[in-house]
């Protein structure tokens, strides 16, 4: 009978690597995550679970839905969120899983540098480690995890490296010893299969490198000429982090920037048969492809695109609400609707535009909002074409501008598909 492993957070950057490694080793993998569609298409047995849901905070839920489990990997975690969400994901749900499978060998993916930090991420990671210790769970603390692909903080580093002038957080001399996600996954598999002390164990690569050196190495890997760098003013970095928190922009957050500024150095790597590679070794193991350069350059355009769309919808909403009817009714002369109906449509449309802007500003269901925007622009275009087809022939563009806007919204949708 094949060993069977339950992986929480299997759709994350680290979780996917662990799932692929365990499957390659011949194990049966039950991949659990809030979104499992992609994992299912990848060929995994899946269990869709939102760890904030009270139902999964009972051991019976996992016993009834997961079946037999010889091993458990908890790779789930939040970087930002409410106190209730942090507690559910880092305490309530893992506690239920640990109690559901007392005989299984279990491992928690935690993080280095959480001992003294006072961010919600660090506080709840520490509480997760306490829970793990009580339940005889191996605790593994990776440093900076990189891979052939990228996500979150690693995508941000690549993006900074692709800029013509490189901004550095702080002075750029913060040390890190990155570990490749595949090497981390191999370590997880080995520690589960052979067992180890509960730890916590730091794990990183054998090569120390500074933030500045890493960004320069990424530029060289992508075939870009060396460039000048500058220290990002602390005030500007804090402002960017707070804006990222408010708009839910992932790695652009106060927590992520604080950790990057402090450095991510893992010490005391546990004894393993397979030793992790150093940053230079795994970076140069393959050439950068077009997709690597495109992703790096598009990563920072993603938040800028959202800000531009917010500006567009705010301005459109204000125009729809407050522009005197005498300014737009002449453009709709001959429309088969009375003036009062056209004015009402403009005012209601203005309110809808402002609602879209607010949703984008708060990062609310961004993929859904992508489709909402496409629907609105498409509806505006179709409706105005019916009411006043001459708007297509205005010297300043008129409805013609909606075509590139629609294409831009399709790009917005693509960029919001991170996993």
Question: What CATH number is attached to the domain comprising 56?
Answer: 3.40.50.720
Does 358 fall in a domain? Answer: yes
> Domain span at residue 334?
303-415
Cα-atom radius of gyration of the chain, to the nearest Å?
A: 25
Asked if residue 333 is part of any domain, the answer here is: yes
Question: What tens digit of pLDDT does each residue of 308-363 get?
Answer: 999 999 999 999 999 998 888 888 887 888 889 889 999 999 999 999 999 999 99
Q: Is 351 domain-assigned? A: yes
Helix (H/G/I), strand (E/B), else coil: 1: coil
Task: Give the span between the Cα atoms of 76 and 34, in whole angstroms.
Answer: 10
pLDDT one-digit tens code per residue, 204-261 = 999 999 989 999 999 999 999 999 988 877 787 778 788 887 888 777 777 777 666 6
Note whether residue 16 is domain-resident: yes
Query: If we measure between CA atoms, which residue out of 25, 29, 47, 51 comes closest to residue 37?
Result: 47
Determine, yes or no, domain membership for 274. no
Q: Residues of 159-171 as b/e, b for ≥16 C-beta within 10 angstroms?
A: bbbbbeebbbbbe
CB 58 within 8 A of CB 32: no
Which residue among 126, 142, 158 closes a domain?
142
User: Quick one: tokens of 214?
Assistant: 């890493």
pLDDT exceeds cutoff 80 at 412: yes
Q: What is the mean pLDDT of residues 300-315?
A: 94
pLDDT confidence of 417, banded at 50, 70, 90?
confident
Q: How many domains in the chain?
A: 2
Among 108, 142, 176, the domain-final residue is 142
The pair of structure tokens assigned to 133 is: 């210790």
């Amino acid at each position: 009978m094949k060993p069977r492993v339950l992986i929480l957070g299997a759709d994350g950057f680290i979780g996917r690597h662990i799932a692929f490694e365990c499957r390659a080793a011949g194990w049966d993998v039950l991949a659990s995550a809030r979104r499992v569609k992609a994992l299912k298409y990848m060929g995994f047995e899946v269990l869709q679970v939102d760890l904030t849901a009270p139902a999964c905070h009972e051991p019976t839920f996992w016993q009834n839905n997961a079946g037999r489990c010889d091993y458990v990997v908890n790779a789930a975690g939040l970087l930002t969120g409410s106190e209730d969400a942090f507690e559910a994901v880092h305490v309530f749900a893992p506690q239920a899983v640990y109690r559901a499978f007392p005989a299984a060998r279990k491992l928690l993916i935690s993080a280095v540098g959480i001992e003294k930090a006072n961010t919600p991420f660090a506080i709840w990671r520490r509480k997760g480690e306490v829970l793990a210790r009580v339940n005889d769970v191996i605790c593994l603390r990776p440093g900076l995890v990189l891979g052939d692909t990228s996500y979150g903080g690693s995508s941000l580093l690549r993006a900074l490296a692709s800029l013509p002038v490189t901004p550095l957080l702080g002075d750029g001399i913060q040390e890190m010893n990155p570990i490749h996600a595949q090497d981390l996954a191999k370590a997880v598999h080995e520690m589960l299969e052979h067992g180890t002390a509960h730890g916590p164990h730091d794990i990183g690569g054998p090569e120390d490198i500074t933030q500045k050196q890493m960004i320069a190495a990424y530029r060289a890997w992508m075939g870009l000429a060396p460039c000048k760098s500058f220290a990002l003013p602390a005030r500007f970095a804090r402002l960017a982090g707070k804006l990222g928190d408010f708009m839910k922009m992932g790695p652009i957050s106060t927590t992520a920037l604080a950790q990057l500024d402090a450095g991510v150095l893992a010490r005391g790597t546990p004894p393993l048969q397979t030793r992790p590679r150093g940053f230079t070794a795994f970076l140069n193991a393959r050439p950068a492809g077009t997709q690597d350069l495109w992703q790096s350059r598009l990563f920072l355009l993603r938040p800028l695109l959202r800000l531009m769309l917010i500006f567009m919808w705010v301005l459109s909403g204000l125009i729809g609400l407050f522009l005197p009817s005498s300014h737009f009714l002449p453009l709709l002369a001959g429309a088969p609707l009375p003036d009062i109906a056209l004015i009402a449509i403009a005012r209601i449309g203005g309110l809808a535009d402002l609602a879209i802007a607010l949703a984008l500003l708060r990062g609310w269901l961004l993929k859904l909002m992508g489709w909402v925007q496409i629907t609105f622009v498409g509806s505006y275009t179709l409706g105005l074409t019916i009411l006043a087809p001459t708007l297509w022939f205005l010297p300043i563009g008129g409805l013609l501008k909606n075509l590139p806007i629609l294409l831009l919204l399709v790009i917005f949708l693509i960029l919001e598909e991170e996993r």
